[in-house]
Amino acid sequence: MDDLLIRNGSIWNGTRFEVSDVSVQDGKIVAIGTNAGPAQTVFEASGRFVLPGFIDPHVHFSLDLGKLHSADDFRSGSVAAAFGGVTTFIDFLAPTDNENDLERAYYARLIEASSSVVDYRFHATIKHPKGDLEAYVKKMLSLGMTTLKLFTTYSDSGRRTDDDQIERLLALSERYGFTILAHIEDDSMITMKDFYVPADLPKSRPAAGETAEALKLAGFVEKHGGTLYMVHLSSGTTLDRLRERYPHLLNRKFFIESCPHYFAFTEDVLSRADGCLYTMSPALRTAAERDRLCAGFADVYAIGTDHCPFRREEKEHDRLRDIPMGIGGVEHAYEVLSARFGAAVIPKMTEHPAKINGLSDRKGTIAIGHDADFAIVRSVKERIVSDHSHGHTVWTGTDVDARIEATILRGAFAVKDGRFLGTKGQYVGRKPER
C-alpha cells in the first residue's frame, strides 16, 4: 500500500494539465496514471491543479546587515515559502573573498538553515576576491555548491568584483561547469545623496545602468564562454537589448531571472506616503519599462523572489539612505504571476530553476522517481489581505485567481487548509568531498 494517493487532480505534465492520479511511497513519486492502488492517505484533488513544488532560487533569510537583520529567519521564511507552494529554496552564503572564509561561511550557513521546514541549498557568494580564483572555485565545488554569486556594484562596501576577475571567473565556469549568478548594475552610475527620498530610488539606481552592464557581461560570456545567470532583471529595455544583440546566448549561456514585483509594480508607488515599503535594488521602473518586461515574459528563464523583507518600522524612514532594501515575495509569487501570465509561469518556478541549479534529477517535475513535492492550487477570485509571517505585505490588495490549497514536501503535508502542519526541510546540495 502506498503512503499517499493524490486522486483525480489536474496534473501538470510539463506542457499542459491532464487529469490523473499520483501515488507516493517513501517520499518519492512511484506511479502516475489512472486506476491507482490503495494508499494510507488519499487526497481528493478533483477540480484542483497539481503542480510540482515550486523552487525559489533567490531568497535572503537571516540576512545580516550589521545593525539590521532581514525580518525572516530560516524558520519563518520557510514557513512563508510553504504557504506559497515553495518546497525548495536557495539562499546565499555570506560574501567571502578567499577559499578559507568560504568554507567557514558554508558550515555556518548549514547551522543557520537547519530550522527550515522545506528543502534548501546554497549559492556561494564572492566579494572583491583577494586570493586565487581557481582555488576559490575548487573549494566551492568540493563543498558541493555549483553556483557562485558576484556583484558588479556595491564597491562602497567592498563587494564589487572587478571586470578582469569576472572574465577570469567566466573562463573558469566554462572549464569547470559551474554557473555564475550576477547582480548586474553599472557601479559608476549609482548615486546616493543625503537628500534622496524613496521616490529618488530609480534615479539613484537607473535602468540604464542595468542595461549597459548586462550588455557588457553578455559580451564577456561571448568572449570567454561559461554560464551566467542574471538575477532580478528589472527593466524591459535590458531584456530587449539582450534579445537584439545576443539572441544566440539568451537562456543558453546567459540566463535571465526576474522577480514578481517588477511585473506588478511601477516606480509610481515610491511617491506614495508608504513608498518606503517598496524599496529594493534594483529599483522599480516606469510603467513603460514594466510593460516591456511583461511583453518579454517568454524570455525570462526563471522567477526568483529576492525575498528580503524588513519590519515596517525599519523601512519607515524619510531618507533613502536610511532604508534597508528589500521586500517579501516567497508566499505570494505564484498567485501574483499566475493572475498575469497563467500557466506560462509554471516552468519558470519549477523545471527551469531545477535545471539551472542542478536539481532536475529530483525536483522541478512530476515524474516517477522524483521527490513527491507538490503545490496544489485551487481557482479563486480573491484579494490578498496579509501574509502568514508578518501580517503586512506590499501585496495587500492584489487580485489573484489562484490560491495554494496544500503544499506537500516529499510526500508529507507541509500546508493544508490554511494551516502549517509541521515538516522538516533537508539540505539538497551535494555532500562535501572528503
Task: Please provide the DSSP assignment of 302-371 as one string.
Answer: EE---B----HHHH--SSGGGSPP----TTTHHHHHHHHHGGGGHHHHTHHHHHHTT-TTTSSS--TTSB
pLDDT score of 393: 86
CB atoms within 10 A of CB 192: 13
Distance CA 433, CA 193 (A): 47
Residue 432 has pLDDT above 80, yes or no: no
Query: Contact 122/91 with Cβ under 8 angstroms?
Result: yes
Residues 6+ apart with CB under 8 A from 391: none
pLDDT score of 63: 94
Burial status of residue 195 (CB atoms within 10 A of its CB: 0-12, 13-18, 19 or more): exposed
Question: Which domains does the chain show, CATH number per domain?
Answer: 2-51+366-420 (2.30.40.10), 54-356 (3.20.20.140)
Query: pLDDT by residue (tens digit) across 280-332?
Result: 999 999 999 999 999 999 999 999 999 999 999 999 999 999 999 999 999 99
Q: How far is CA 246 from CA 117, 137, 218, 220, 255, in A?
A: 40, 27, 7, 11, 11
Distance CA 262, CA 85 (A): 21
Query: Contact 100/116 with Cβ under 8 angstroms?
Result: no
Distance CA 349, CA 338 (A): 11
**Binning pLDDT at 50, 70 and 90, where does residue 392 land?**
low
Positive or negative torsion for Cα 129, 147, 214, 207: negative
- DSSP three-state, residue 170: helix
Query: pLDDT by residue (tens digit) across 64-122?
Result: 988 899 999 999 999 999 999 999 999 999 999 999 999 999 999 999 999 999 999 99
Distance CA 232, CA 281 (A): 9
Distance CA 155, CA 127 (A): 9
Rg (CA), the chain: 21
In DSSP terms, which residues pair with 359 in a beta bridge?
Answer: none
Q: What is the mean pLDDT of the chain?
A: 96
Helix axes 133-142, 99-113, angle to 10 degrees: 30
Average pLDDT (39-55) is 97
Determine the Cα angle at 403 with ends 399 and 407, to 5°.
150
**Binning pLDDT at 50, 70 and 90, where does residue 2 land?**
confident
Query: pLDDT by residue (tens digit) across 61-73?
Result: 999 988 899 999 9
pTM score, whole prediction: 0.97
Query: Contact 30/44 with Cβ under 8 angstroms?
Result: no
Query: pLDDT by residue (tens digit) across 328-363?
Result: 999 999 999 999 999 999 999 999 999 999 999 999
